[in-house]
Chains A and B, each alone.
Chain A
């Protein structure tokens, strides 16, 4: 069964450092998303991406964040200067379509646990 893959599974970084989280969405999917989940809290939307550009972003997704699809398979989330409060689980998701029932289901990767020290 196709799946979304994310690397690394755990990233430890010092405050102020840049990190890049990587995702390989399901191959025939066109819509890509990043979510985050702070420990003990709910999953929160960060950004959606379609046709090589950001479709929508939340207020969490400030200037420190950026996304990119550098090639035909990878989808990355970059945090330029990490803060302690960026420590969370970051999930990548993808879907085949946006509105069509059954094709709009978002499938999640196993996540990257980011620890900012």
Chain B
């Protein structure tokens, strides 16, 4: 069973659109959750952490549902510069785990003019 699953996309949207990404994780003991973005052939860069109460950072809103083991990311008023691959990332951080990150395969977003 895959540990972190995401819709691979691609999502092709016009500028100004609202787009939502979903992610599920298999291990209920997971502790920390993040969305990273990755541009082509670049390193993952933290977009935002995801907290139980949900959190917002400008045009970006992240939600966590621990009961359903589900994480989401909403991007409003999308810009051309939002074009990237969005990585759902889970940090196990329990028992013998020393905090290694488990990555989804990513969802590719392409914002068109």
Contacts and interface: CB of A to CB of B under 8 A. Distances in A.
Interface of A: 31, 33, 35, 41-45, 48, 50, 55-56, 58, 89, 91, 93, 95, 98-99, 101-102, 104-111, 113
Interface residues of B, number: 25
Contacts of A42: 87, 103-106
B49 interface: yes
A43 B31 contact: no
A104 B87 contact: no
Contacts of A101: 32, 49, 51
Given A105-B34, A105-B49, A43 B100 contact: no
Given A56-B96, A105-B34, A105-B49, A44 B44 contact: no
Q: Most B CB atoms within 10 A — which of A33, A35, A41, A106?
A: A106
Interface string B90-113: 010100111111111110000000
Interface of B: 31-32, 34, 41-46, 49, 51, 87, 91, 93, 96-106
A31 B46 contact: no
Contact of A99 (B31, B42, B49): B31
A109 B41 CA distance: 12
Contacts of B51: 101
B112 to A, nearest CB: 23
